[in-house]
Chain A
Amino acid sequence: MLAETLSASIVGVEGLPVRVEVDVAFGLPALTIVGLAGSQVQEARERVRSALRNSGFEVPARRITINLSPADLPKDGTGYDLPIAVGILAASGQLRDVDRLRETALVGELGLDGAVRPVPGTMALAAASFGAGIPSLIVAGAATGEAATVSGLRVHGAASLGEAVGHLAGVRDLAVAEPTRLPATVAGSRGPDLAEVAGQPLARRGLEIALAGHHNLALCGPPGIGKTLLLRCAADLMPPLEDDEAIEVSRIYSVAGLLDRRAPLLRERPFRSPHHTISTQALVGGGPRVRPGEASLAHRGILLLDETLQFRTDALDALREPLEGGSVTIARVDGALTMPARFTLLAAFNPCPCGWRGSRQRACTCEDAAARRYLARLSGPLRDRIDLWVTMAAPSALSSARTDGIEPSAGVAARIGKAWRRQLRRQGIANGDLPAAALAEDRGLGVEAEGVLAQRARRFRMSPRRIHRAARVARTIADLGGADEVGREHIDEALTYRGAVDS
């Protein structure tokens, strides 16, 4: 006898509806799963067998064939346990009334005792099944919060296979989960406060501009002058995610299995700072089972690469695509797969391997060629995508004594928030995220500002790409100052961060 249950699969960070077809036929007892089922799905046979038996059901001593459709899509994960088990029950006549099966998707891992457990990506799976017109979903009780973020979807939490079957058979209905609401505010602090950072006014201001307009920032300077401390402050300086952004980001974290199930919707902008030993796959995503990398986990937030030049060069080069297009494309045998990855890059590195090049107090021990090779690890295309450059030096004795002017994070965050609102109102997108094509036509500068920019570009020998980037930064500086028009002073301040022309 044939039966069909509904479920969903994860492709990248998106869900895709999947039908689980179960055929119970005469023949030697066997349980076969087909439809490009990976090893985790193959193991479902053992879990399902035990779960059925221990839940008081019978595993038919027949030839059971299970097909996951579309069959050409590679599938992995443990979420098919529940739909397979229910499918076997329906196909073997143990679950009679199958009306509800047609309007209920099933997602969940089974314990040997029949317990239903949550799986990663529930949010995307729920969205996909609802998007395919399936009005109900049964997931593990712990996963209802994630699933109920999809408005309109009826989510039922089942503790066990028995409960799920009882609901489907209409014996004992499961309650519909309350829709999950976005947290109103961001709670707690995640990093150090700017008040702890001594001196370095230009780097502080550079960070403020970078965060306000989503521009990429690079800090270069000797060890121990507070590059890392300063950049870690960024975690608490960013405005909260907008509603649609929160759903989008939370979904990525759901797929990565990084969500707190009790509070599944994120309000805080992501702040990721992978260690420099990270592999390319872990940074941008990929691998045999495609998982979002750090670049995608930093979507709509910050990717901090401390000791940037210590990262593998292939990993750094892999960041070119997300920096330019805001997404990562992973080529696979069966086609390419795209994941969102629109982040603000914060980079910090030493000027040479020993770190002391350019320092007055300590001699650099690096060969010239070695120092050049070191900086060349940041390839030209990547360099071009960094909008703000700050060369940092050890604070002088005079200035580090000054503590009166140090502004704590709260004030800076407020300015950044205001500038962000201005950008949203004007163009619905951050200045740094404006597509290049839009900028080529109109940089949004007045006649005077354009003239100043053109004159400076000649004087400082800037490439067209750098001119565009400077224009965006100037726009953000104007937004920070609450100015409607970009003026001469905004252009000039933006150009302070243009970086040294290599001589």
Chain B
Amino acid sequence: MIGVGARGPISSASALTAAAPPLRPEEGGWLGIDLAAIDREAEVPYWIAISLVPGVGPVGFARLLRRYGSARAAWAAGPALLTALPRVPDDAVAGLARLHREGATRVADRVALAARGSGGTILTALDADYPAALAAADPRPPVLYLAGDPASMSRTCVAIVGTRRASGYGRSCAAEIAEELARAGVTIVSGLALGIDGQAHLAAIEAGGRSVAVLPSPLDRIYPPRHRDLAARLVATGGALVSELAPGSAPGKPDFARRNRIIAGLARAVVVVEAPDRSGALLTAAAAIEHGREVFAVPGPIDAIASRGCNRLIADHQATIVTSAAALLHRIGAQPGGQPVSVTSLSDPEALVLHALLERPASIEELLGRTDMATGPLASTLTLLEARGLVESYGGATFHPTLTARRIGRQN
């Protein structure tokens, strides 16, 4: 084996079952709860108030609804409602008491104000705008906070997730898949994390598509802070930011597990681009399988630590292998989008270098041998191709052809 992180050969044990135990539907499902029968106007403040009680998650909320018939009734039950929860944290009693003192209406008004202050709105499972895909993924989060256009989530959504420590290969794959899907009118869902997530969001909006980021933090505290600008661009380009955490609440740790479940719930399929062992992206894949979503994984070199999780998903038949962005598009059933911006003719050295890269992404060092050019002119040509949007280095030493370049390659 190569490297220090290797922990034996790929095992036959599932990479996913260890990650999250499956949930029995009767435990947390919303089956049997008739949302249509609920009086939305009267219920919403209580939905918001109860969703803020420590320990109340999608599962607990569904149980309360089933036991008490409505959030209002559950609220009236006072501390007794805590007995219905699967897990009662230490601060639940005090937290509930504090909310009770404030009163459900005032709590709801306060949260609504905070949501507006951070440029967002409140979306409950009672609302028509509530994403249908998420509603089908029980247990659904009862209250979401949303900035941007909820319609972006009603189109076909595909999640692209992966490691924060992405390699140039991973970034290149994320960008290519996101671009191809975005051109086909698919909304790209991801977690706004550094690395693969950010690359997927960015490629989607730069291709003129829409992208939805599910945050592990409240809307007023974008995590990671380095992607604040990216988050604003997502909203500005017709996408959305979604969070399960109320804005204006006390700062807590980012909740990645809940974020990953929402990502899986929103998406029709989840593509794991690059994930090492024990990556959060594998948890998203596990949640997707649980929700009955299709999982795809991009294979990596067998000696690449960053791709071990992906390779294992494929080896364990838990994910479908992604052989190309076009093949993925076909599997999902989307039609390829319009042609990319036309590129004026390439000069001889440009064509030579691009051709070599289309064969296989390479560093300058490898390209020298394959093109027989001198270092200076080769470097110059690569920058020119990069400026034309045909080549990307993703901050590393290896140059990758972009989707545009691949399409040109296919035409010729």
Contact = CB atoms under 8 A, between A and B. Distances in A.
A202 B164 contact: no
B335 to A, nearest CB: 30
Contacts of B381: 492
A393 B364 CA distance: 10
A204 B369 contact: no
B396 A358 contact: yes
Interface string B10-43: 0000000000000000000000000000000000
B341 interface: no
B396 A393 contact: yes
Contacts of A360: 167, 301, 303-306
Interface string A475-487: 0010011000000
B279 interface: no
A455 B368 contact: no
A357 interface: yes
Contact of A361 (B3, B198, B202, B379): B3
A496 interface: yes
A199 B4 CA distance: 26
B377 A489 contact: yes
Contacts of B109: none
Interface string A354-367: 00011011111100
Contact of A492 (B2, B164, B387, B395): B387
A484 B198 CA distance: 43
Nearest to B377: A489
A201 B387 contact: no
A398 B369 contact: yes
A425 interface: no
B384 to A, nearest CB: 5
Contact of A395 (B301, B365, B393, B396): B365
A340 B194 CA distance: 43
A399 B368 contact: yes
Contacts of B198: 503
A496 B376 CA distance: 10
Nearest to B378: A201
Contacts of A362: 2-5, 305
Interface in A309-347: none
Contacts of A396: 363, 365-366
Given A391-B396, A393-B396, A493 B365 contact: no
With a 10 A CB-CB cut-off, give which of A395, A398, A489, A492 has the most chain B CB atoms: A492
Interface in B353-373: 363-366, 368-369
Nearest to B276: A363
A503 B233 CA distance: 14
Interface string B283-324: 000000000000000000101111000000000000000000
A456 interface: yes
Given A399-B368, A481-B376, A489-B380, A393 B397 contact: yes
A481 B374 CA distance: 12
Contact of A205 (B301, B366, B379): B379
A382 interface: no
A405 interface: yes
Contacts of B377: 489, 493
A463 B20 CA distance: 47
A456 B395 CA distance: 17
B369 A399 contact: yes
Nearest to A503: B198
Given A360-B306, A398-B369, A202 B396 contact: no
A392 B365 CA distance: 10
Contacts of A202: 364-365, 375, 379, 397
A356 B202 CA distance: 26
A367 B375 CA distance: 35
Given A460-B387, A495-B383, A503 B395 contact: yes
Nearest to A396: B366
B387 A459 contact: yes
Given A202-B379, A205-B375, A362-B4, A357 B165 contact: yes
Interface in A156-205: 199-202, 204-205
With a 10 A CB-CB cut-off, give which of B305, B363, B381, B398 has the most chain A CB atoms: B363
B382 interface: yes
A495 B366 CA distance: 20
A392 B383 CA distance: 17
Interface residues of B, number: 38
Contacts of A480: 376
Interface in B156-180: 164-165, 167
Contact of A358 (B167, B369, B379): B167
Nearest to B306: A360
Contact of B397 (A361, A365, A391): A391
Nearest to A501: B395
A500 interface: yes
A260 interface: no
A368 interface: yes
A461 B2 CA distance: 39
Nearest to A366: B165
B57 to A, nearest CB: 27
B229 to A, nearest CB: 11
A365 B5 CA distance: 9
Contacts of A489: 376-377, 380
Contacts of B368: 201, 399, 402, 405
Nearest to A200: B365
A455 B387 contact: yes
A361 B302 CA distance: 10
A490 interface: yes
Contacts of A501: 395
A40 to B, nearest CB: 54
A19 to B, nearest CB: 59
A392 B376 CA distance: 16
Contact of A496 (B2, B5, B276, B380): B380
A205 B276 CA distance: 35
A457 to B, nearest CB: 10
Contacts of A493: 376-377, 379-380, 383
Given A398-B369, A492-B387, A201 B165 contact: no
Nearest to A399: B365
A393 B194 contact: no
Contacts of B199: 503
Contacts of B194: 368, 503
A495 B379 CA distance: 9
Contacts of B395: 391, 500-501, 503
Given A358-B396, A460-B387, A363 B363 contact: no
A396 B362 CA distance: 10
Contact of B387 (A361, A364, A398, A456): A456
A186 to B, nearest CB: 27
A477 B167 CA distance: 31
For the complex of A and B, 7 pairs with smallest distance between CB atoms: A363-B5, A500-B395, A393-B397, A493-B380, A496-B379, A492-B383, A492-B380
Interface of A: 199-202, 204-205, 221, 357-358, 360-365, 368, 391-393, 395-396, 398-399, 402, 405, 455-456, 459-460, 477, 480-481, 488-490, 492-493, 495-496, 500-501, 503
25 contacts: A200-B365, A201-B375, A202-B375, A205-B375, A360-B167, A361-B3, A362-B2, A363-B3, A391-B396, A391-B397, A392-B397, A396-B365, A398-B369, A399-B365, A399-B366, A455-B387, A456-B383, A480-B376, A481-B376, A489-B380, A492-B379, A492-B381, A492-B383, A493-B383, A500-B396
Given A200-B365, A495-B387, 13 more contacts: A201-B368, A202-B397, A205-B375, A205-B379, A221-B397, A358-B167, A358-B396, A362-B305, A398-B366, A398-B369, A480-B376, A500-B395, A503-B395
